[in-house]
Structure 1
Amino acid sequence: MADSTRFEVEKLIAYGHELVDFLRDDGDNITLKQYFQQAQSLHSRAHADFNGLQRSIQECQTKLEICRSKTTESNSTVVADEESDLLAKELEEREHQLRDELRVIIDEINDLEQQSESIEERRKSLKKLEQEDLRREMKLSMYASVTSIVPNLDDQSKISGHIVEREEKRVEKFELDPVKQTTFETCNGIWKMINL
């Protein structure tokens, strides 16, 4: 029982150390905000490209319809066999050309959709990280409020910090050296400080 309690306290202290290190590193927050801004920019650019590609597809479909109507018109009028063959070949070439253009446009749309999905995933990940940061910050604040202990996470070689007595308006520094004490003694020392 004592081993599991000791393990949980060590785990809690390690978690607190990691949290404070993470919260002090402004570079991660700035980087995340930059990624979020880039994601928004990519998303709006992808949306504009997507609209442009849709217009291009509509134009291609209109041209295809015009070609088909011309073919229908040419078939309805009596034209010499040679002219008819030439028109059919021209129409077929134009249709192949339009299909190739349409295929390229569809590939570009698919690429833009994949980019948009990737941006959305990054945005969700960023939001999740921000929520986790806020949750950790609130936990650390709650621990400090409940225990009246504000840990010093700058020096990882020792356990140190301040005991804050708000009612008595007193701040008392503490320091425990894990090299000179057993983990059990260190844990008991922390509990005694909390219970003061």
Structure 2
Amino acid sequence: MAASAGESQGVERLLSYAEDLVAVLCVSTDCDDNAQVGAGVQRLLSACRSESDDLEMQLKEYQEKIHSCKEKIDKAKAETITDDELNALQSKMEEKLQEEKQLRQELRVLHDELDDLESQRLSIKERKDAVKKKKKDTQKAERTLSMCLSVTNIIPNLEDQDKVSGCIL
């Protein structure tokens, strides 16, 4: 920006010098030649001023574009994360994945233990039911035996089903 201001002052000085030169030429004694040269210089001076103004406008536009680009770059930098932050996040994610893997393994072990306990429970229930049935059958046999004893006064021998035998009381 400082170089631009220095260049702008240099252009202004050059244009001022050209105006002074036009004024000197107009005062000179050879009027026709000086008038032609003065008119040419006047046109040149006007073209230089116009060109200078155009360049100054373009310079301002480019400076605004540069400033806009710098703002966009700063915004993009603010929105992106650094490699250190990315590495930290990645290591945290890996730790979480490892933790999840361990929890899944523990869940599998617990599920297997639960299945094992369920099969044990079913086995115990089946044995309980078998014991109840056997007890019920025993009670039925005792009642039958008691009935036989009370009616006939004979205790039948139930171990040998092929023969009819018993003990008289």
Give TM-score scaled by structure 2 length.
0.44
> Could you say which structure has the higher strand fraction?
1
> Could you say which structure has the higher helix fraction?
2
Higher-Rg member (1/2)? 2
Give TM-score scaled by structure 1 length.
0.38
